[in-house]
Structure 1
Amino acid sequence: MMEEVIRRSANYGASIWDDDYVQSLATPYTGEKYVGEAEKLKDLVRILIRETKEELDQLHLIDNVTRLGLSGHFKDQIAKMLDKIYEAQEWLEKDLHFTSLKFRLLRQHGYHVPQEVFCSLMDEEGSFKAILFEDVRGLVSLYEASYLSMEGESLMDLAKDFSLNHLTRRLDQITEPRLKEQVRHALEVPLHWRLQRLEAKWFIQVYENTFEANLTLVELAKLDYNMVQATYQQELKRLSSWYKETALPEKLGFVRHRLAESFLWALGSVPEPHLGYSREILSKMTVIVTIIDDIYDVYGTLEELELFTHTIERWDINSLDSLPEYMKISFLALFNSVNEFAYHILIGQGFNVISNLRNLWAELCRAYYLEATWFHSGYVPTTDEYLYTAWISVAGPLLLFCGYFTTNPINMKEMKSLEQYPGIIRWPSTVLRLADDLGTSSDEMKRGDVPKSIQCYMKETGCSEEDARKHIKQLIDMALKRMNKEILMENPIKNFGQTAMNVGRISLCVYQHGDGFGLPHSETKKNLMSLVVQPIPMP
């Protein structure tokens, strides 16, 4: 008689986004009528850009257009404006807000501006002048600028500490409600690392109520947000139908079914409306990554996992018979999705990426298997040993490659360089892993899962959980600074840099308030409702 396998369960909750609900979503913001309205408004904004001559006004306009989520429509005009501003190199050196805003916008667009532009705001001892802490608006601008720093920029570290300390101290004393809300918002997450579409919705409402608001910009921003939302909604409906047709939710009841949350990942990584195919692929791959992650983390026995890993390495449907049924279903779902994706790339671009995708999946599953052996043997690796595997086991490289294949024309030289896992792959994956660890660690400690970076560091150093969390936050800060340098400033692959930066942003967003992926009922649900379901009211 066969021995029954005792399997662990993570007791994941069911998805709150069932297919019936997703298919019931509706929006009026589709069709030619709105396209025509938007085009008229864009023409008016182009005139506004042309007629804005003063440098500070230009900087404010660029900042507002970007934060309203409209910069994609005016890329050329913004680039031209910034080129002129950069070439002029005129700095109002005594003005904290102007210097900080200019520094941030230029660096955001990849211009090399030295940290020394802030020297004129410092005293002889090398500290920021005490008088500056009275300028709350300037402090917010300095705080936001400090997150564009790179490793080794001690002046920018000073800027961050100075602005953070004074803003935190002043927050309760600010009497002007709008300014107080802006300071609170900035201190929660800096602008540079926020999710652009969520920021747009928040900023539209804030900007609209300021005395300098341009009503054409406000109207276009609302209309554009709602039209892009209509696009996202249609994409989620198609994905939901696909997922239902795979029968994975009913056949694999033990895993997290997180289609809408996977779509949020994709949307956060690749928000541009015209990149719908990229969002489709990233959503599908994230769904399958989640299923396979749960097989390795929770459900499979070590013997089954060894067989499964070999099957994926060989990419061999002939060895399916040796696997239990739940693994047969999972492998075939993976095999079919990857092959279909590779076929699409071959037809569209003439590149055969099947071996790249196979290698990425094999590497991911080897990392999963190694972590499973650690868990089953009770082994706790050192922090370095853990991280050596964990930035791969979080599926960062796999998803980033899928992003590269679907957002710009594939180039053999670029592909070869990406295979070496340079900073553009490594640092966003590291941020994803460490943000995930900070968000999920408490639940997983209770459940007795694979040790994460926090537990590894606690065992290695004997420190408290609080100190370990501080250390992991420092590692995230370091990785973000490296992203600024190696992706934003060096811009190794032109159209792919923004996607790589966005992977860092969506990681910070999803795990900001805990496990926003495994337990997606609060902030994640709110974010999805905001991005996909609830339009901005228009007159």
Structure 2
Amino acid sequence: MALRLLTAVPSSSFIRSNRKGTSNRSNVSNLSVVGASKAVATANVSDKKIGESFNEQAIRLVGEVRMMLENVIDPLEKLELIGSLQRLGLSYHFQNETKRILEDIHLRADQSKALWKEGNLYATALEFRLLRQHGYNATQEVFSGFMDEMGNFKSSLCEDCKGLLNLYEASHLSMEGEGILDIARDFAAKQLQQHLKQKQIDEYVRMLLEHALELPLHWRVSRLEARWFIDVYEKREERNPMLLELAKLDFNIVQAAHQDDLRYVSKWWRDIGLGEKLPFARDRLMENFLWAVGVAFDPQFGNLRITLTKIASLITSIDDLYDVYGTLDELELFTQAVERWDINAMELLPEYMEICFFALYNSINEIAFGDLKEHGFHTIPFLKKAVLMEAKWYHSGYIPTFKEYIDNAWISISGPDDSNLIYCSSMILRLADDLGTSVDELEGGDVPKSIQCYMRETGCSEVEAREQVKTLIDATWKRMNEEYLMTHSSLSLPFKHIALNIARMAQCMYQYGDGLGVANLEPKDRVLLLLVLSIPYGEKLI
């Protein structure tokens, strides 16, 4: 029935007057669903026999690394090993071992002075970062010993490149009111910039410094970071061959699981037909699946990735219906139909909206019987009301205040929720989106975003407004770090990780501009690296 309805509507029915511009939101991606699916189908890890060989080899290597973790005595070596496993994308294999090690280090840090890190900025910063990343509320006071009587970091630290790099990374796990970490970030960033100007700097170190200053590790997506770091780690002289071998192998195995998910969701997208029947809407299944992988890459989260991709793809189409194509009267009809959540409401909609509503109604109802119903996805009526408000702003020419925009964005981007962690994550998603897409969306006739609202309200320049939005993003990260470390929170640790990953993925996708509205090289490269191209490996692995 769904396919008959979708194929019955001619594309000419979309040609209407009084529509917004659509040139900047069109389907211009060269990496189509069909093309990527074909590439996935021919990926070299898809062969069953090779896959079985990979799994056997990986199980053996995981066991050997687990023994390595158990046998290391020196606390700093343990932390370095945990840090390497994290950046190589392997930490999910060793969660129990990591927890035991960090619990022991955290307890001992409170009991006595740890000689292994005394006066060692590198060791202190590495310990602080890993403890906070794993939910232990390490105190910023551990860095006070590296400061002078004036409250500045000692000048003797300026040549400690490794220590400065780890101090810089640690400072991004700060919370509101932690002045020492604010000073640490500014000091470390300034000194690292000076190190980059040195001609004799080691190439491996240069890559790490440039990477960190571009975007700190705490703000990066772990799966993308693993793909980048595997190549970088291979250039390191003191690399551990076993870790490198396992990292390459595990990446390809996990990629194969992602490819299976992608095949499934690609078929679903072709079956509902929105990409073909709504030419004004973005066909961004691949980018939406990339989002899902960034939020939850672990192999066992396949159902979550599929569900997230479905939801994101539907919302992307509906977002364009509101922002790009629909008239205000039509949008009010569509919102009323969603609020009623009745299939009979389709009778009042224009033909092109029938497709959107029918796909939304069937897909959400199917999902609601599964996991998403248990996780509180009852936000569709609120979502549509919020997006309708943006449509009213557009048609009336009204430019909201910065506060009005932020308040409405909270509902529009994710839905009302009493969790500050979700609020912060969603707000970073909206603000990062605005930084990357404001120019393109405004050229297409969209409602003003946070940058334009702030410019109009304060009279500042666009550059100043963008800096204000970046400052707000940074402040929101501090609030989110504090929520993450709350021990009395009702949210589980895996759920907290997913919330952080949403914010990380937002910063990643909009780092070089629009990650969804206008197709550009960076998202395509990421799709290829994460979902299509496996990492080359030696013959002994086959």
If the length of structure 1 is used for normalisation, what is the TM-score? 0.92
Distance 1:154 1:283 in 2: 40
* Partner Cα distance (1:4, 1:80) in 2: 63
1:536 and 2:520 aligned: no
In 2: Cα distance, 1:136 partner to 1:512 partner: 26
Q: Which residue of 2 aligns with 1:476?
A: 473
Q: Matched residues in 1 for 2:284 and 2:523: separation? A: 11
Q: CA deviation at 1:47?
A: 1.2
**Is contact 2:152–2:183 with CA below 8 Å preserved after alignment?**
yes
Contact 2:425 2:500 in 1 (8 A): yes
Q: SS where residue 18 of structure 2 aligns?
A: coil
Aligned to 1:427: 424
Q: Counterpart of 1:427 in structure 2: which amino acid?
A: C
Q: Find the counterpart in structure 2 of residue 443 from structure 1.
A: 440
Q: Kindly report which structure 2 residues correspond to 1:193-208, keeping only aligned pairs within 5 A, or say none.
A: 193-208=219-234
1:106 to 131, 149, 153: 131
- The answer (yes or no) to whether the contact 2:324–2:445 under 8 Å persists in 1 is no
Map of 1:8 onto structure 2: 20
Maintained 8 Å contact 1:93/1:120: no
Structure 2 Cα separation of the partners of residues 105 and 489 of structure 1? 16
The structure 2 residue matched to 1:27, chosen from 17, 25, 43, is: 43
Residue 360 of structure 1, aligned match among 364, 369, 379: 379
Distance 1:431 1:174 in 2: 37
From 67, 70, 89, the equivalent of 1:50 is: 70
Letter in 2 for 1:126: G
Q: How does 1:384-463 map to 2 (within 5 A)?
A: 384-394=403-413, 396-397=414-415, 420-463=417-460
Distance in 1, matches of 2:125 and 2:240, equals 23
**Taking CA–CA contacts closer than 8 Å with sequence separation of 6 or more, which of the two structures ends up with the larger relative contact order?**
2
Instruction: Pick the aligned partner of 1:61 from 78, 81, 85.
Output: 81
- Residue in 1 aligned with 2:106? 86
What do you get for the CA RMSD once the two structures are aligned?
Answer: 1.7
1:4, 1:269 → 2: CA distance? 38
The code of the aligned residue for 1:27 comes to A
Please give the residue correspondences for 1:60-209 in structure 2 after superposition, counting only pairs within 5 Å: 60-89=80-109, 90-91=113-114, 92-175=117-200, 176-209=202-235
Structure 1 unaligned runs (5+)? 398-418
Distance 1:512 1:342 in 2: 33
CA distance in 1, matches of 2:222, 2:228: 10
Per-residue CA deviations over 1:45-82 (Å, capped at 9, x if unaligned) read 01111111101101100000111100110110111111
- Measured after TM superposition, the shift of residue 233 of structure 1 is 1.3
Provide the rounded CA distance (Å) in 2 between the counterparts of 1:448 and 1:213.
52
The 8 Å contact of residues 168 and 185 in structure 2, kept in 1 or not, is answered as yes
Distance 1:54 1:352, change over 3 A: closer
AA partner of residue 180 (structure 1) = R
User: For 1:464-493, what per-residue CA distance to the aligned partner results, in whole angstroms no more than 9, with x for missing partners?
Assistant: 000000000000001111111102444541
Partner of 1:409: none
1:493 maps to which residue? 491
**Counterpart of 2:285?**
259
Are positions 1:321 and 2:333 aligned together?
A: no
Structure 1, residues 297-333: CA drift from partner, whole Å, max 9, x if none?
Answer: 0100000011111110111111211100111110110
Q: Counterparts of 1:134 and 1:284 in 2: how far apart (Å)?
A: 50
Q: Any idea what SS the aligned residue of 1:274 has?
A: helix
Distance in 2 between the 1:513 and 1:263 partners? 19
Q: For residues 322-337 of structure 1, what are the structure 2 equivalents within 5 Å?
A: 322-337=348-363
- Once residues 386 and 243 of structure 2 are traced to their aligned partners in structure 1, the CA distance between those partners, rounded to angstroms, is 48
Distance 1:429 1:493 in 2: 16
> Are the counterparts in 2 of residues 142 and 159 from structure 1 also a CA contact under 8 Å?
yes
Runs of 4+ with deviation above 6 angstroms: none
**1:270 paired residue number:** 296
Counterpart AA for 2:359: A
The CA deviation string for residues 359-388 of structure 1, in whole angstroms up to 9 with x for no partner, is: 411111100000110111011111001100
Q: Could you tell which deviates more after superposition, 489-498 or 141-150?
A: 489-498
Encode CA deviations 1:188-241: one digit per residue, 9 max, x unaligned: 110111110111111112222223211111100100001111111121122111
Q: In 2, Cα distance between the equivalents of 1:392 and 1:509?
A: 22
Residues 420-471 of structure 1: per-residue CA shift (max 9 Å, x gap): 4211210000000000000001112333310100000000000000000000
Equivalent-residue separation in structure 2 for 1:344 and 1:197 (angstroms): 26
Q: CA deviation at 1:245?
A: 1.1
Give the residue type in structure 2 aligned to 1:478.
Answer: A
Answer yes or no: is the 8 Å Cα contact 2:289–2:309 preserved in 1. yes
Task: Tell me, in whole angstroms, the C-alpha distance in 2 between the residues paired with 1:206 and 1:87.
Answer: 34
Where does residue 325 of structure 2 map in the other structure? 299
Query: Within 1, Cα distance between the matches of 2:252 and 2:357?
Result: 38
Q: For residue 520 of structure 2, what is the aligned residue in structure 1?
A: 521
Query: CA 1:427 to 1:7, structure 2 compared with 1: closer, same or farther past 3 Å?
Result: same
Paired with 2:519 and 2:252, the residues of 1 have a C-alpha distance of: 24
> Which residue of structure 2 aligns with residue 249 of structure 1?
275
Q: Structure 1 residues 338 and 474, CA, compared in 2 at 3 Å: closer, same or farther?
A: same
Match of 1:405 in 2: none
Residue equivalent to 1:239? 265
Q: 1:19/1:209 Cα in 2 relative to 1: closer, same or farther (>3 Å)? A: closer
Determine the structure 2 residue equivalent to 1:465: 462
Distance 2:35 2:393 in 1: 40
Contact 1:428–1:501 under 8 Å retained in 2: yes
Change (3 A) 1:143 1:201: same
Q: Is the 8 A contact 1:22 1:237 kept in 2?
A: no
Distance (Å, rounded) in 2 between the aligned partners of 1:244 and 1:22: 13
Please state how far the C-alpha of 1:112 moved relative to its aligned partner.
1.1
Contact 1:229 1:535 in 2 (8 A): yes
Q: State which of 216, 219, 227 in structure 1 corresponds to 2:245.
A: 219
Structure 2 CA distance for aligned equivalents of residues 160 and 96 of structure 1: 14
How big is the shift at 1:352? Answer: 6.7
Structure 2 partner of 1:404: none
CA deviations on 1:80-117 (whole Å, 9 max, x unpaired) are 11111111104423111111101000010010111000
Compute the TM-score of the two structures, normalised by the length of structure 2. Answer: 0.91
Distance in 1 (CA, whole Å) between partners of 2:420 and 2:136 is 19
Q: Percent identity?
A: 47
How far apart, in 2, do the equivalents of 1:56 and 1:471 lie? 39
How far apart in 1 are the matches of 2:324 and 2:440? 13
- Aligned residues between the structures: 509
CA gap of 1:305–1:442, structure 2 versus 1, over 3 A, is: same
Q: Is 444-453 or 255-264 further displaced after alignment?
A: 444-453
